[in-house]
């Protein structure tokens, strides 16, 4: 296996996302990473995030109408998205082999991954109205 060498900046970006459970977007990562590497630019943060996704260290979480968020949890899990505040929560449940099930249905397709999303209202928003 090749030894992966990170620049200090990329390492700091990865650390920030790993240290958060909130699935931060690039702007939030930028704010936090500036505490570690004050000279970092937003452009570098974007490029680092992109490279870390490419290399399989992070996954992207997309929500319509919102900036892309990043997640350092690589094990299989689902997301719960609060429609009121937009927060993204990890749902650690064992998922069936969805890729296998769908591959069996879609003969000849290359099914790569499954993303499971739940929508509704988080605890905080549910109690505030």
The residue ranges that bind Zn ion (CB under 5 A) are 71, 73, 82, 84-85, 90, 122, 125
d(CA 72, CA 86): 19
Task: Indicate the residue among 50 and 90 with the shorter CB distance to Zn ion.
Answer: 90
**What is the residue whose two structure tokens read 């900046």?**
9
d(CA 129, CA 125): 7
Task: Indicate the residue among 5 and 123 with the shorter CB distance to Zn ion.
Answer: 123
The sign of the dihedral angle between the CA atoms of 26, 86, 90, 104 is: negative
Residue 16 DSSP SS3:
helix
CB of 126 to Zn ion, least distance (A): 8
Task: Indicate the residue among 7 and 118 with the shorter CB distance to Zn ion.
Answer: 118
Residue 120: which region, alpha, beta or left (left: phi > 0; alpha: psi -120 to 50)?
Answer: left
Q: Are 49 and 18 in contact (CB under 8 A)?
A: no
Task: Indicate the residue among 26 and 122 with the shorter CB distance to Zn ion.
Answer: 122
Return the bridge partners of 60, or none: 70
């Amino acid at each position: 296996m090749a030894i992966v060498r990170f620049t200090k900046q990329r390492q700091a970006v990865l650390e920030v996302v790993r240290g958060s459970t909130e699935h931060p977007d690039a702007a939030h990562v930028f704010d936090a990473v500036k505490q570690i590497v004050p000279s970092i630019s937003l452009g570098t943060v974007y490029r680092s995030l992109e490279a870390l996704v490419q290399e399989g260290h992070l996954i992207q979480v997309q929500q319509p109408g919102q900036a892309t968020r990043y997640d350092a949890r690589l094990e299989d899990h689902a997301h719960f998205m609060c429609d009121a505040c937009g927060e993204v929560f990890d749902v650690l449940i064992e998922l069936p082999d969805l890729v296998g099930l769908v591959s069996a249905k879609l003969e000849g397709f290359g099914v790569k991954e499954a993303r499971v999303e739940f929508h509704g209202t988080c605890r905080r928003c549910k109690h505030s109205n």
